[in-house]
Structure 1
């Protein structure tokens, strides 16, 4: 096998491993709860993830050793934790995210102040400790016939199949804490919102009037955040929604018996959070003059050029062509002179043909793409644009014929006047 072929195989293997399931550290409120989430962990293991489960007080806990991160993803199912064992603290978790890694945070009504502060760092404001989401219309009745108006049957999902899968015919059960997300947030997405008849309330306190912020769709049950470095965080107000008990429940909603969609929803959303879905990779950026395959060092004004880039979508370690009509290319010098959507061929190659503006200077190709549920693409490539050289202009321009004629007439008149002056008295 040749050296180049070996190198190509190695690169493909590295790329596959980079987007296949990674190593996950899962911290529980108690190690006795391991079996409680076995269906969830088994589904992630089947998806290719390696999961290490520990109690949040374990003295051997560490995310980083000698400057190297030991895990790719972190699951925090310890809502009451005020701190962690070992060398893990809030700042370590934030550094973990800043380095491009992912966090799944599950809480409940007994959430500690430390977990509320961590969620706030992600841009998600959890409701006060002790509050619960109630709904007296959209609730589930379990097999024992007991009515529990805090067991919400939610169906209001974000319109992004890459994040949540679906559509689901069964409800998603939720029992826990609501959160609020600022309406102007650019990074946070409400994945699962409460029904319009739901509200958040602390049963130990009297409620003189309905709460203003935690009512209906304004109450976020599950929130996803994608940072600018493409690290992903999910904050779920119910850690119970990931449990075997909810996954395998048969409940009655509005008089009809149904299973739950929790398993498919939670596993799909977790795979998204761990960058196993919705990952876009742009590569092989190239440009050339029309009629030539060679990439030039720069352009001349008014040249006809073609720009191309390959964009692939990675899911479960497998790359497939990305298909979309909303990726825009900008050709910028201080301000965009060209801003046009790229066209794709269905095989992952996006291209655009355009005429270079009649302005010379240093331009750059610029792509800044963000589509809900997908990782961000930001590409920049600089290219100079020069004016015509002195020997590249056309010698005779049709529009200049009046000027040519005026110059010729002046010369003819001068010759006639000189002849008349020299040879006539």
Structure 2
């Protein structure tokens, strides 16, 4: 956990205690520490990285932006917290994750959905409630607001990997108070402004970019505020603990094992199939949370039976115990096929499985002796033969 200053660690004791209670060991250092290193002799020393140093223009030791990107490429996770004083280095790092933070000095304002803390009204203290519908990421539901004070971001609507976890209220906007308003105004406003963004890379590494590092502090986790004239506590503590556990792959992890297939009526897995065989495909999918596995239950897991193009694409049925299965008839096409599962559900790790299996045609001795569909042809051949003999007999013996 890299902080702006190691002496400010007491500001995040409640957050760190929550991580410790979840089973994580937290090593706290300042971002300028000359002994910093994530990797030694080709081995990564840490599983996760927390960056709470929004003003950092560089790092001490052997850490730089490329090292952090290599850390992510190797399947590790990053939690990045910034504020309105975000440096270009932090903005560049967030951009590598697909999150475009607003300019330095900008703040999120909302003159309608703000909170009063310690008797001070502050339009930059946002009482946010617009969470993504993904309980595995955010937990909840929460009756209390989530306090946010910081910088907004924009995420491309075409992004397949990024999820806006917490959106700004419809009446919020991002602006630098030290600069004059443009004419016409060009503001990041409403739901287009992302307060917290989660990214899951294709290798299942997870990154979360929070525009407010202060929302993880003790003051916000235990705050009592006034919103709309009513006094209330905040949901920050439960929310950030759940979000951080998801980031560190302590929630929403799917593990697919024991892929198998066989002919109906047999339990042995064959080397291949014959066209038109009736087969059954099975795979076990478990959800891992807090180090414990439980059966995953969903109706949107599907398998494809592919040879260049999918000949079969069907959803898998689950038995409630983690086993997903499908019975189907092998297509009347021979060649080299493969089973293919490419499953992605918001908040859960990706599943990608392939298994190759050949499909052969009928052998010569496997065809039926007489085909029902060929009876008309049999009759036509016999009728021609019969007609030939009748006509021949007529010409030979008729005077």
User: Normalising by the residue count of structure 1, what TM-score does the alignment of the two structures yield?
Assistant: 0.91
How many residue pairs match? The answer is 399
**What secondary structure is seen at the aligned counterpart in 1 of 2:313?**
strand
- For 1:213 and 1:235, the matched residues in 2 are separated by 20
Q: CA deviation at 1:406?
A: 2.5
What CA deviation, in whole Å up to 9, does each residue of 1:305-362 have, x standing for no partner?
1100000000010000000000111111111111111110010000001111111111
**Against the structure 1 CA distance between its residues 298 and 245, is the aligned structure 2 distance closer, same or farther, given a 3 Å change threshold?**
same
Query: Hey, what does 1:244 align to over in structure 2?
Result: 218
324, 345, 352: which one aligns with 2:319:
345
> Which residue in the other structure is 1:89 paired with?
64
Partner in structure 2 of residue 111 of structure 1: 86
Q: Distance in 1 between matches of 2:373 and 2:223?
A: 82
Give the corresponding residue for 1:162: 136
State the Cα deviation string for residues 236-272 of structure 1 (Å, max 9, x = none): 0000000001111100000000000001110100100
Give the Å deviation of 1:56.
0.5
Q: C-alpha separation between the residues in 1 aligned to 2:250 and 2:243?
A: 10
**2:368 aligned residue:** 394
Q: Which residue number corresponds to residue 79 of structure 1?
A: 54
Residues 200, 214 of structure 1: 8 Å contact kept: yes
Q: Is the 8 A contact 1:126 1:178 kept in 2?
A: yes
CA distance in 2, matches of 1:131, 1:420: 108
Please report how far the alpha carbon of residue 57 of structure 1 lies from its aligned counterpart in structure 2 after TM superposition: 0.7
- Alpha-carbon distance change, 213 to 284 in structure 1, aligned in 2, over 3 angstroms: farther
User: Residues 196 and 211 of structure 2 are in contact (CA less than 8 Å); yes or no, is this contact kept in structure 1?
Assistant: yes
Aligned residue in 2 for 1:31 = 6
- SS of 1:359's equivalent? coil
Tell me the CA shift for residue 424 of structure 1. Answer: 8.0
2:21 counterpart (36, 46, 50): 46
Are 1:329 and 1:366, in contact at CA under 8 Å, matched by a contact in 2? yes
Does the 8 A contact of 2:196 with 2:210 survive in 1? yes
Query: 2:103 maps to what in 1?
Result: 128
1:207 is aligned, of 161, 168, 181, to: 181
For 1:153, the equivalent position in structure 2 comes to: 127
CA RMSD in angstroms, aligned pairs only: 1.5
- Mapped to 2, the partners of 1:423 and 1:254 lie a distance apart of 116
Gaps of 5+ in 2: none
Alignment of 1:186-197 (within 5 A): 186-197=160-171
- Are residues 1:102 and 2:52 paired? no
Query: C-alpha distance in 2, partners of 1:182/1:419?
Result: 88
The answer to whether the 8 A contact 2:173-2:187 is kept is no
Q: 1:341 to 1:211 in 2, by over 3 A?
A: farther
**Residue in structure 2 matched with residue 331 of structure 1 by the alignment:** 305
Aligned to 2:239: 265
The answer to whether 1:180 aligns with 2:180 is: no
Cα separation, 2, equivalents of 1:141 and 1:209: 31
Q: By how many angstroms is 1:404 displaced? A: 1.6
**Is residue 2:232 matched to residue 1:292?**
no
Structure 1: gaps of 5 or more residues: 1-25
